[in-house]
């Protein structure tokens, strides 16, 4: 028996400082570790403690600005929060190349979310369907009674669809289609699902179980398109190789996972900077192929001049109101920098960022390979992690890249010898 236990009653009632002391005893942290985790940036512990439970600290990520974006004729500076080197640089570079041909053309659908109510023990699907559809207006009214704001905007629950699910229970599911306007929509859709469930039980005689939004949003999608001139990206051969890369991603799930991960490098970083729900964005993007029939979220072709045309279609549910988007000041300021005041404009920007990020990755992979660009940045981050400061960082990373020996040990040796020769 170690004597250590993670069973701590009343942990939630303590202050963040008290919790940190308990965690420190459990994990063997020393005073300086505790001092380190108690440091916060612009998100004060008191506010963090209101956002989630059992808070002891906050984490910080670098926020970089992707430049050069022109979307639908308008210039954007795009805040991106991410720990991975070269994402922001690659995105900016892709935007610069797209800009030479007019930038990105983005569109978005209405912000329709789907809420699901699972009905069990129902029997005949067609009968249940007929009963539910016969009460369509009452169901929609009941759902809309949960949001006066949406109703006053002529939005809210708009339609119902009944589906039969191929699960062991033989569940029937009601889809509630809700126009959530500028919200991400999870809260309002969940409340609507819970509101209609007892009524559905009454009219159908079924039992209800799950009552929750779907994170798959085929009715809430954004599209973007851009041209990348062949003379700016390494010529005809690179254009062809990028198209072959996309075709492979669309045919092979192993490659699709990596290809779409690259897209989400960009999309998530913007979502995170503005404190939207990136887990929902991930789930959405990575299950969309079940409905779209395409493993790859992007596609590429060659136009009549031999230039590369890239397109993306991505389901995206982000809000400019509600959630943590306005509670955390920095997130609100990053959205101000982004300059989007509606969820549909926001989705259009995200589609352009996803396309830019994917093009940048495919171009690097189809030309010099991804490691060349990565290595310089990796070398810099190793230099920083061994304690290099100011000009030492560039000096050490340049030597490591030139030598082709990029490692923590080499960075440490180089730092030592620079400091010795300067002392």
Q: Could you list the active site residues?
A: 84, 261, 277, 374
Judge contact between 349 and 267, C-beta under 8 A: no
Asked if 367 touches ligand MEV (CB under 6 A), the answer is: no
- Closest by alpha carbon to 246, among 209, 207, 295, 289? 295
| Chosen residue from 16, 79, 262, 266 binding ligand MEV by CB under 6 A | 262
For ligand MEV, the closer CB: 261 or 294: 261
| Chosen residue from 175, 229, 261, 286 binding ligand MEV by CB under 6 A | 261
For ligand MEV, the closer CB: 265 or 325: 265
The Cα–Cα gap between 238 and 362 comes to: 9
Asked if 265 touches ligand MEV (CB under 6 A), the answer is: yes
> Percent helix, strand and coil across the chain, each rounded to 5?
50, 20, 30
Shortest gap between Cβ of 303 and ligand MEV (angstroms)? 22
For ligand MEV, the closer CB: 108 or 265: 265
For ligand MEV, the closer CB: 256 or 318: 256
For ligand MEV, the closer CB: 95 or 213: 95
Judge contact between 48 and 40, C-beta under 8 A: yes
Q: Which residue is nearest to ligand MEV (CB)?
A: 262
| Length of the chain (residues) | 423
Judge contact between 173 and 119, C-beta under 8 A: yes
Q: Which of residues 192-251 bind ligand MEV (CB under 6 A)?
A: none
Q: Which residues face 114 on adjacent strands?
A: 177
- State how far the alpha carbon of 375 is from the alpha carbons of 62, 367, 382, 403, 414, in Å: 19, 16, 10, 12, 17
Shortest gap between Cβ of 333 and ligand MEV (angstroms)? 27
Shortest gap between Cβ of 150 and ligand MEV (angstroms)? 38
Shortest gap between Cβ of 400 and ligand MEV (angstroms)? 21
Q: CB burial class (10 A; 0-12, 13-18, 19+) of residue 271?
A: buried
Shortest gap between Cβ of 258 and ligand MEV (angstroms)? 4
Q: Which of residues 63-102 bind ligand MEV (CB under 6 A)?
A: 84
Torsion of CA 17, 21, 22, 28, to 10 degrees: 150
Q: Which stretch binds ligand MEV (CB under 6 A): 22-30, 261-269, 277-285, 387-395?
A: 261-269
Size of the site for ligand MEV (CB under 6 A): 9
Shortest gap between Cβ of 338 and ligand MEV (angstroms)? 22
Shortest gap between Cβ of 262 and ligand MEV (angstroms)? 3
Asked if 370 touches ligand MEV (CB under 6 A), the answer is: yes
- Closest by alpha carbon to 262, among 11, 411, 90, 74? 90
- Closest by alpha carbon to 222, among 156, 296, 317, 294? 317
- Closest by alpha carbon to 357, among 80, 76, 88? 88
Shortest gap between Cβ of 166 and ligand MEV (angstroms)? 33
- Give phi and psi for 406, each to the nearest 5: -105, 100
Structure tokens at 27: 């994990």
Q: Which stretch binds ligand MEV (CB under 6 A): 135-143, 160-168, 260-268, 375-383?
A: 260-268
For ligand MEV, the closer CB: 98 or 242: 242
Judge contact between 285 and 267, C-beta under 8 A: yes
Structure tokens at 179: 């126009």
- Closest by alpha carbon to 59, among 30, 31, 78, 83? 83
Q: Kindly write out the interface string for residues 240-259 of this chain, putting x where it contacts ligand MEV by CB under 6 A and - elsewhere.
A: ------------------xx
For ligand MEV, the closer CB: 182 or 313: 313
The Cα–Cα gap between 323 and 186 comes to: 9
What is the CB-side half-sphere exposure of residue 52 using CA atoms within 13 A?
8
For ligand MEV, the closer CB: 261 or 395: 261
Binding footprint of ligand MEV on the chain (CB under 6 A): 84, 258-259, 261-262, 265, 361, 365, 370
């Amino acid at each position: 028996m170690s004597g250590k236990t993670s069973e701590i009653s009343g942990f939630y009632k303590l202050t963040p400082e008290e919790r940190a002391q308990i965690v420190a005893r459990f994990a063997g942290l020393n005073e300086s570790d505790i001092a380190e985790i108690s440091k916060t940036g612009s998100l004060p512990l008191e506010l963090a403690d209101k956002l989630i439970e059992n808070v002891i600290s906050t984490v910080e990520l670098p926020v970089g600005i992707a430049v050069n974006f022109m979307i639908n004729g308008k210039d954007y500076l795009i805040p991106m929060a991410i720990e991975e080197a070269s994402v922001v640089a690659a995105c900016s570079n892709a935007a610069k190349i797209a800009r030479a041909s007019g930038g990105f053309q983005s569109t978005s659908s209405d912000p329709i979310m789907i809420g699901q109510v699972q009905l069990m023990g129902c029997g005949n699907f067609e009968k249940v369907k007929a009963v539910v559809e016969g009460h369509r207006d009452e169901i929609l009214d009941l759902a809309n009674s949960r949001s006066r704001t949406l109703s006053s905007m002529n939005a809210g629950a708009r339609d119902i669809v009944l589906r039969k699910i191929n699960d062991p229970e033989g569940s029937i599911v009601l889809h509630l289609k809700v126009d959530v306007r500028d919200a991400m929509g999870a809260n309002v859709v969940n409340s609507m699902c819970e509101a209609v469930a007892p009524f559905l039980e009454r009219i159908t005689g079924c039992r209800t179980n799950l009552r929750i939004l779907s994170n798959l949003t085929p009715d809430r999608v954004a599209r973007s398109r851009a041209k990348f001139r062949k003379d700016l990206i390494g010529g005809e051969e690179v254009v062809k190789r990028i198209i072959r890369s996309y075709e492979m991603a669309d045919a092979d799930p192993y490659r699709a996972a990596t290809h779409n991960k690259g897209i989400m490098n960009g999309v998530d970083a913007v979502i995170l900077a503005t404190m939207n729900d990136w887990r929902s964005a991930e789930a959405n993007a990575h299950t969309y192929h079940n409905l779209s029939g395409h493993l790859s979220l992007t596609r590429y072709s060659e136009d009549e001049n031999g230039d590369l045309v890239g397109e993306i279609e991505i389901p995206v549910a982000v809000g400019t109101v509600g959630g943590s988007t306005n509670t955390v000041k920095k997130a609100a300021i990053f959205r101000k920098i982004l300059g989007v005041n509606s969820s549909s404009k926001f989705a259009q920007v995200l589609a352009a960022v996803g396309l830019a990020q994917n093009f940048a990755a495919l171009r690097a992979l189809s030309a010099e390979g991804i490691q060349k660009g990565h290595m310089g940045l990796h070398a810099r981050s190793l230099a920083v992690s061994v304690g290099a400061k100011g000009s030492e960082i560039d000096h050490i990373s340049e030597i490591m890249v030139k030598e082709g020996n990029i490692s923590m040990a080499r960075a440490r040796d180089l730092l030592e010898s620079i400091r010795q020769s300067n002392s």
